[in-house]
Amino acid sequence: MKINGVLIDDTFAEAFPMQATGIIITAIDLNWAYRAANSIIGFASSVIACGCEADIERELKPSETPDGRPGISVLIFAMSVKQLREQVQRRVGQSVMTTATTACFAGIDSEVTVPLGKSLRFFGDGHQISKTVNGRRYWRIPVMHGEFVCEETTGIVPAIGGGNFMVLAKTARHALAACEKSVKAIRKVPKAVTAFPGGIVGSGSKLGSKYKFLTASTNEAFCPTIKGQVTTQLTEDIGSVLEIVIDGLDEEAIRAAMRAGVVAACSLGPKNGIYRISAGNYGGKLGPFHFPLREILK
């Protein structure tokens, strides 16, 4: 199977169950909403060591936010409800409440919840007050720029992490150009995000390592500089491989994001150094969600 002359490997991306939540960050203008959102998603690229994976889902118009101000929707993923609650409380407190003029609201409705204002209200030192509007509870915490309004909780839902595809190219510059196009396309897909820096993974990993203290290590089969020393998946013309990893709220979001990203990457074609598209899997050992590339792209 080829798209615009780019070979699509007959393989699948393997993904695993996660827990996810969403928050809406608003501010006096979109610039300050972005400052808070970019802060909260800092060091949230991989659950291997970051504790969570998070990224901006999309911009929100004032008509789409609870307080009628410009906003940003952020999705946050973790391996357990406990881990998610810990990460969200820290990150909202340290990265959103500290950003001038912001407010924070629930982005997902669910019976299972993570505290927002419910925990952060204590920063008000007894001067905080709550108000219930249409059955939803909000906290008004006095701060020096005015007040920080924060919804009491936001919902947690089952989600999927690790949807992926790899771009095999002539050089790193070629691979990066294709992946940048992919990320732009994926950002138009609702309920899906690419958590790694810039949405692109430069150091894709495999399960396990020769070192017993590591749970993951470099995916040497796709490393071009050592293809003469290992069992490689690369041909001589491949000089660089970059990966896109996608987290989504459901399987359809992952499929749609993979489809959009692969098509965007393939639009450059072999004349621009894009030769193959592959995907990372571990023979079904990592997770129960399998996304066959060729089936998704039919």
The per-residue pLDDT for range 79-100, each reduced to its tens digit, is 999 999 999 999 999 999 999 9
Structure token digits, residue 156: 């947690």
As its CATH architecture, domain 17-156 has 2-Layer Sandwich (3.30)
Alpha-carbon span 10 to 266, nearest angstrom: 16
Alpha-carbon span 177 to 153, nearest angstrom: 40
Which pLDDT does position 252 carry in this prediction? Answer: 98
Alpha-carbon span 124 to 114, nearest angstrom: 20
Q: Is residue 227 a contact partner of residue 234, using CB atoms and an 8 Å limit? A: yes
17-156 matches 2-15+161-297 in CATH topology: yes
Write out pLDDT tens, residues 121-167.
Answer: 999 999 999 999 999 999 999 999 999 999 999 999 999 999 999 99
Q: Region 255-282: what's the mean pLDDT?
A: 97
CA distances from 15 to 157, 231, 246, 258, 283 (A): 16, 24, 9, 12, 11
- In the chain, what are the domain boundaries? 2-15+161-297, 17-156
Write out pLDDT tens, residues 4-39.
Answer: 999 999 999 999 999 999 999 999 999 999 999 999
Let me know if domain 2-15+161-297 sits in CATH 3.30.70.520. yes
DSSP state of 122: G
Write out pLDDT tens, residues 202-245.
Answer: 999 998 999 999 999 999 999 999 999 999 999 999 999 999 99
Q: Is residue 200 a contact partner of residue 261, using CB atoms and an 8 Å limit? A: no
Which pLDDT does position 38 carry in this prediction? Answer: 98
